[in-house]
Amino acid sequence: MPLFRLIFLLLIGFIAWKAYRLFLTRGARQPPTPPLQDMVRCTVCDIHVPAASAVRCEGKSFCNEAHRREFLARSGME
């Protein structure tokens, strides 16, 4: 009979431990992930930037205004 009690107590302890772990994980939910953005490549330095913040000129994308001016100066358009 003592073996039965030991198994019973271990089972009760395991169930209590699982319930406690479930209770802890409910409060620690992960924050929602931000929505994905379309990325474009800078024509000058090949760095990817979000399309919403890219500088565009003549169908090309740039990471900043300085790279747009550099591209135009190199190609003789400015």
Residue 78 has pLDDT above 70, yes or no: no
Give the single-character DSSP code of 13. H
Closest listed residue to residue 71, CA positions, set 37, 22, 60, 21: 60
Q: What are phi and psi of 56, to 5 degrees?
A: -115, 145
Looking at residue 28, what is its pLDDT? 64
Torsion of CA 20, 21, 23, 28, to 10 degrees: 150
Tokens found for residue 8: 């019973």
Q: How many CB atoms lie within 10 A of CB 42?
A: 19
pLDDT in tens, 3-50: 889 999 999 999 999 998 888 777 667 778 888 999 999 999 999 999
